[in-house]
Amino acid sequence: MLNLILFGPPGSGKGTQAENIIAKYGILHISTGDMFRYELSNNTELGQLAKSYMDKGELVPDSVTIAMLEKRVNENPDAKGIIFDGFPRTVAQAEALDALLASKGTEITTLLSLEVPTEELVARLLNRGHSSGRADDKDESIIRNRISVYHGDTKPVFDYYDEKRKAISIQGVGSIDDIFCSIQEQLDPLV
Ligand code: AMP
């Protein structure tokens, strides 16, 4: 199984590259951000809870996020691999993910981290805010908070997998095609 974590700060291109990866490698895409937005669009209790954090650029609590993720993985026993997009965002989430996969006799194959300078991220997200309708992309102070949450809470997830020699950094600036070429160079030997 190819179990991939697509990692990087908000605006680093994870969603875009996830689409390319799914198209080529045929693995299941799980984006916790998309799942929360889906819950919100259906006005569920979970959606309302998530919104109270998303609107501020904060992380939804681990207990809620991990339970939602585990449910989705358990619903897809036949997946030939999974791309985790926007998860794990804390070391506790990473530990829960590793335990879940171990209970199924599998593990994370690799973590690919898209590296993009902060000012480029802010510019990309403000630009996306004009077209996406995402409330958390419209306000520069919320964008900057999401980036600082990334550095404080999420970056340690890179170190966690780096210690296991599973973390790889990829230059996330350039054309979408060039960045996908760098991703394929890493993934092709693994499949
Ligand atoms: P994203 O679409 O991945 O940028 O996520 C949008 C927002 O959803 C984040 O700013 C968080 O508020 C929430 N979120 C998504 N994934 C997670 C996660 N793994 N842990 C906690 N909060 C998350």
Atom of ligand 1 nearest to the CA of 54: 12
d(CA 94, CA 131): 32
The span from the CA of 44 to the CA of 38, in Å, is 9
| Catalytic machinery residues | 14, 89, 128, 134, 146
109 CB-contact burial (10 Å; exposed 0-12 / middle 13-18 / buried 19+): middle
Model confidence pLDDT, tens digit, residues 113-161: 999 999 999 999 999 998 887 888 999 999 999 999 999 999 999 999 9
pLDDT (0 to 100) of residue 101: 98
Q: Is the pLDDT confidence value at 108 over 90?
A: yes
Atom 6 (ligand 1): residue with closest C-alpha?
Answer: 33
Domain hosting 76: range is: 2-190
Q: Which residues line ligand 1 (CB under 6 A)?
A: 10, 32-33, 36, 53-54, 57-60, 65, 86-87, 89, 93, 136, 146
Number of domains in the chain: 1
User: 158-188 pLDDT, tens per residue?
Assistant: 999 999 999 999 999 999 999 999 999 999 9
Give the model confidence (pLDDT) of 48-95 as tens digits.
Answer: 999 999 999 999 999 999 999 999 999 999 999 999 999 999 999 999
- The residue ranges of DSSP E strands in 20-166, in sequence order, are 28-31, 81-85, 110-115
Protein residue with its CA nearest to atom 12 in ligand 1: 54
CATH code for the domain in which residue 161 is found: 3.40.50.300
